[in-house]
Chains A and B, each alone.
Chain A
């Protein structure tokens, strides 16, 4: 891997992270009133419920250092955020924002990564099969159905699955990640319970993503199938399976991986909403609670985490890409 390629990608990553921090810094300051006024107002309106309100106010006064010049405030904000010091949460007090998020992150990552991987692999194979001239008519007739599926947003699909499989037929639980999250142990019953709860949210993400990956793969595959080296492979008398996997699909997958990097942001946004629909205890659920209690700093924390998670994933994908396709390194 050439250094300039890697450096450019890392530069993009740093730019994204700084952009996110800067937006978090600027936006509240563009809203009318000074940044602590909103916090004070919230604290006053719920004065009795919040223990240690004075602590929080003191923390934010120091944090924003309202008398300091703006540039200094900005520098301090960047420094704190880069050290994962995101301040105190109001709704999860006395927890800090970063610890509330770190508790939720494993649930989100497990759900999002598994479901996206399944959707990507299944969708790509299906798309390749649809484009493959030797496929059965049944497979090839799936295309319009997948097109319609790819148009339906994650969240709406989640609501329908929720109604059909949890409310109507009661095959799956209505929400949550386990029957009793505190009683989770490393046992088979617990594992089955967790999978049972994760199935519908994961299915929403898989179904909503399937069509997108299948359509992309079909397009890439059709381009590859026109290439001369495939005709040569066939003339050599290679087995069709070998031509399909090692010659056609392998090359058609390359653009799919590029679009994976581009689509991740949308996928993450969509799955946050799926978590909200299923009360799944990941980042989406934290976000929902934060919004319900106008916990502005937690909202900012969720936004920052979302950007950071996707940026890390995109960076890893882009650094891995030249290993798969050396032509990209320019």
Chain B
């Protein structure tokens, strides 16, 4: 109990000491609660097509106006933001789990396993992610938010795998790992019991990076029209707005909100991963 309290205290002290982390946690908390708070205040039924008068500029009745499909833009944002977040978190989670496993195996065993995993990882990293996602998404056609997350996760494991491998390479030479080895612990016990807990902070930092990358890939597919057709995610809202020439028609209230929410989201995730890098990599802290 005492140690838990002490850990929580240390965590709080650390969060308080990093302005980047404070800002990013606040913005992310805002965005993650946007859906649930919003659906209590706004009628989410208005996010359905043809539920309101079309092309209305913002007014007291429709705070962010309405689009050409007869949707209330604020309601669309309330429904769409959690969908985009869900897609990013799911894809990032799958990607990071695979990446950590591959990184552990590759860093711990070394030898041929390491050479194969590293070569595949490095090769995959130089392939433009959009190229593969396009081929897959275009042939699957009708996708749901979760299916998109799985497709994107296929390309989200490389960076975590690389970071974890590098960390494991230096960890496995430490005395406590040698000790575990000499006392006869099996390879899997060492990997899961000794190494895994020590790469968790780093894994969390690369999870944040993976979520941001996944949302970026998802947005790319969505604005090209390959996203879920019936779910108003942020990217799909931009796609519809551009398809119906919201730019030329001066309907800034249609494309503006999703662009703004996405920018906030990307900046918050970037700040958080930069702050977490400083935890995992204390040398960076003195620099800035």
User: A: which residues have CB within 8 A of B?
Assistant: 12, 15-16, 19-20, 23-24, 27-28, 30-31, 38, 143, 147-148, 150-153, 155-156, 159-160, 162-163, 167, 174, 219, 222, 261-262, 264-266, 268-269, 272-273, 276-277, 287-288, 291-292, 294, 296, 299-300, 302-304, 306-307, 310-311, 314
Contact B128 A306 (CB under 8 A): yes
Determine whether B7 belongs to the interface, using a CB cutoff of 8 Å to chain A.
no
- What is the bound-complex CA distance between A143 and B20, given in angstroms? 13
Q: Are B134 and A287 in contact (CB under 8 A)?
A: yes
Which residues on the B side are within 8 Å of A262 (C-beta)?
125-126
CB distance from B241 to the nearest CB of A (A): 10
B2 contacts A by Cβ under 8 Å: no
Partner of A288, one of B138, B224, B266, B269: B224
Given contacts A147-B270, A152-B266, A222-B287, is CB(A303)–CB(B219) below 8 Å? no
Check A167/B248 contact, CB under 8 A, given A268-B128, A269-B220, A303-B131.
yes
Asked if A307 contacts B139 (CB within 8 A), the reply is no
Are B139 and A27 in touch, CB under 8 angstroms?
yes
Bound form: Cα–Cα A219–B134 in Å: 34
What's the minimum C-beta distance from B180 to chain A, rounded to whole angstroms?
A: 31
Residue in A15, A19, A38, A151 whose beta carbon sits within 8 Å of that of B267 in the complex: A151
A310 CA to B287 CA in the complex, in Å? 33
Are A155 and B139 within 8 A (Cβ)?
A: no
Are B224 and A20 in contact, CB atoms less than 8 angstroms apart? no
A273 pairs with B131, CB closer than 8 A: no
Contact indicator B263/A156 (Cβ below 8 Å):
yes
Judging by beta carbons under 8 Å apart, are B123 and A264 in contact?
Answer: no
Q: Hey, which chain A residues are within 8 Å of B219, CB to CB?
A: 153, 155
Enumerate 19 A-B pairs (CB-CB under 8 Å) in ascending A order: A16-B123, A19-B127, A23-B135, A30-B139, A31-B139, A143-B288, A148-B267, A151-B267, A155-B220, A159-B259, A162-B247, A174-B248, A222-B287, A261-B126, A292-B225, A299-B134, A299-B135, A302-B131, A310-B128
Q: When A and B form their complex, which 8 residue pairs have the shortest distance between CB atoms, in order from nearest?
A: A151-B270, A269-B130, A303-B131, A265-B128, A306-B131, A269-B128, A31-B139, A151-B267
Docked pose: A269 CA to B203 CA in angstroms: 26
Contacts A148-B267, A159-B238; A276 near B223 (Cβ below 8 A): yes
B190 on interface, CB distance cutoff 8 Å: no
Residue in chain A with minimal CB distance to B129 = A269
Q: Give the residue name and chain of the B residue nearest to A211 (CB).
A: B270
- Per the bound structure, the CA–CA distance linking A299 and B274 in Å amounts to 36
Give the CA-CA distance A303 to B226 in the complex, in Å.
14
A307 to B247 alpha-carbon distance, docked (Å)? 32
Q: Interface digits, B203-229 against A, CB 8 Å rule (1 contact, 0 not)?
A: 000000000000010011001111000
Query: Could you tell me the distance between the alpha carbons of A174 and B125 in the complex, rounded to whole angstroms?
Result: 34
B135 touches A300 (CB 8 A): yes
Apart from A155-B219, A307-B131, what 6 extra A-B contacts exist at CB < 8 Å? A19-B123, A23-B136, A265-B128, A269-B128, A273-B130, A303-B132
Asked if B123 and A303 make an inter-chain contact with CB atoms under 8 angstroms apart, the answer reads: no
Residues of B within 8 A of A174 (CB): 247-248
Compute how far the CA of A288 lies from the CA of B287 in the bound complex, rounded to whole angstroms. Answer: 44
**Contact of B131 with A163 in the complex, beta carbons under 8 Å:** no
Complex Cα–Cα for A16 and B287 (A): 37
Let me know if B271 is at the binding interface, CB within 8 A. Answer: yes
- Contacting residue for A310 out of B127, B132, B226, CB 8 A: B127
Given A159-B238, A265-B128, A265-B129, does the pair A151, B259 have CB atoms closer than 8 Å? Answer: no
Residue pair B139, A16 in contact (C-beta under 8 Å): no
Q: Chain B: which residue is nearest A11 at the CB level?
A: B119
B119 CB contacts on chain A under 8 angstroms: 12, 15
In the complex, A38 Cα to B138 Cα: how many Å?
11
B216–A303 CB distance below 8 A? no
Q: Is B140 an interface residue (CB 8 A)?
A: yes
